[in-house]
Amino acid sequence: MELSERKKKILTALVESYIATAEPVGSKALAAVIGCSSATIRNEMSELTTMGYLEQPHTSAGRIPSPAGYRLYVNELMERQKLSEAETAAINEKLARKDEQIEQLMNEVGQLTSSMTQYPAYALTMKPPVAVKRFDFIYVDQNTFIVVALLTDNTVKNKLIHLPFSVHQEQITTLSSLFNANFTGVTDREITDSIIRSTERAARDTYGLVAVVASFTMECLAAARTAPLRVAGASQLLNQPEFRDPDKAHELMNFISDGSHLMDDLPPAGMGSDGLRVTIGPENLAEELKDSSVVMASYDAGGGMRGYIGVVGPTRMDYSSVAAKLSYIAAGLSRLLAGTDAPAGLNNKLVLKESERHEQERREE
């Protein structure tokens, strides 16, 4: 059922007022904004309450939005915010330093997101499986050599291997051709015991080294797909009035500081076509997040990799502003990492509606 225009206006104003002040909103305050008497507002609010969009903390306080109210606000009512010059400049400046190490960059992205939004933020990259493109072996001395593996995603991994016995140059060369023959182009899943066994059989006098290098190889490949999740600005939570209770704050901070939980929940499903997803309060799967909201954006990290940034905050989160900022940062990262521009119209102003409608439909099934 569709809401009347006025109801929409009231809900919008109420949500925004509550987001700004964290105080329940009364009919009087809204009357001024909407332009009719407080009694009328009261009637409307009463209906909105029975429809489930508003809640009353107690009989004689104002109303606050229910999760459903926030949902409606996010899906249909919220203004697509534009970032200020200063904000876009700050983001661009941070992202401009392209020559940084990727890990370093990801770390700073978390902090950037957190400081821009004033909420705790996290950033993670999901990578597709990689394989080794080529191996090189560097002979250092009798007991020592270095394995260098160039991966398909063009990162290079290496390891210094120190042996309790001595080898000579030719053995290393043999090893090199063995590994380049048998271990290139295979992902970590595809390295089976049988490959290792057969390589070992072919290895002859370098027999003992195969296992060492093979395990290094597997480590590399596994490490390359593992997503390094960075959490930044967890202490920002303490700025929010809803976390002035230290016990609540502590609980949620513990939860988000240890990123593994976040990963379970967040990346897989429900990303809108615009790369944004908002989960509000009880929509979150994790028990610890039932009173919080999560906004996340995904970006193209190049080579089929998909990255995610997100923020966690109270349900009374400033969705509009956060969505705009995340979207802008994500677009910047896409451009930076993958050279792809974001889908049309996504750069600065947001197009949430499309994706959110999908989600709405899903929810109503």
Partner DNA sequence: TGCTAGCACTCTTATCCTTCGAGTGCTAAT
Partner DNA sequence: ATTAGCACTCGAAGGATAAGAGTGCTAGCA
* Contact positions vs a second copy (CB under 8 A): 134, 136, 138, 140, 146, 148, 150, 154-160, 162, 233-235, 238-239, 243-244, 246-247, 249-250, 253-254, 257
119 vs 45: CA distance, rounded Å: 30
Give 6 or 157: the residue with its C-beta nearer to a second copy. 157
Positions of E strands within the chain: 54-55, 64-65, 121-126, 132-141, 144-151, 156-162, 230-232, 276-280, 292-302, 305-314
Q: Which does 62 bind (CB under 5 to 8 A by kind): DNA, a second copy, none?
A: DNA
Query: Closest CB to DNA among 50 and 101?
Result: 50
The C-alpha atoms of residue 18 and residue 55 are separated, in whole angstroms, by: 12
Q: Is 76 helix (H, G, I), strand (E, B) or coil?
A: helix
Q: Could you tell me the smallest distance in angstroms from the CB atom of residue 44 to DNA?
A: 8
163 binds, among a second copy, DNA, none (CB under 5 to 8 A by kind): none
Rg (CA), the chain: 27
Q: How far is the CB of 140 from a second copy (least distance, A)?
A: 7
- Closest CB to DNA among 38 and 144? 38
Task: Give 225 or 248: the residue with its C-beta nearer to DNA.
Answer: 248
Binding site partner of 154, from DNA, a second copy, none, Cβ cut-off 5-8 A by kind: a second copy
- Residue type at 164? P
Task: Write down the least CB distance from residue 303 to DNA, Å.
Answer: 53
- Least gap, CB of 4 to a second copy (angstroms): 41
Task: Compute the distance between CA of residue 156 and CA of residue 135 in angstroms, rounded to an integer.
Answer: 10
User: At its nearest, how many Å lie between a second copy and the CB of residue 342?
Assistant: 25
Q: Which does 134 bind (CB under 5 to 8 A by kind): a second copy, DNA, none?
A: a second copy
Residue whose tokens read 């400033």: 318
Q: Which residue has the tokens 């989600």?
A: 359
CB of 68 or CB of 286, closer to a second copy? 286
Tokens found for residue 191? 């390295």
Q: Which residues bind DNA (CB under 7 A)?
A: 6, 24-29, 36-40, 42-43, 45-46, 49, 56, 58-63
Task: Round to whole Å and give the CA distance between 288 and 276.
Answer: 22
What's the token pair of residue 59? 């009989």
Q: Where are the alpha helices (DSSP H) in 277-349?
A: 319-338
Letter for the amino acid at 98? K
Closer CB to a second copy, 66 or 117, in the complex: 117
Q: Shortest gap between Cβ of 90 and a second copy (angstroms)?
A: 18
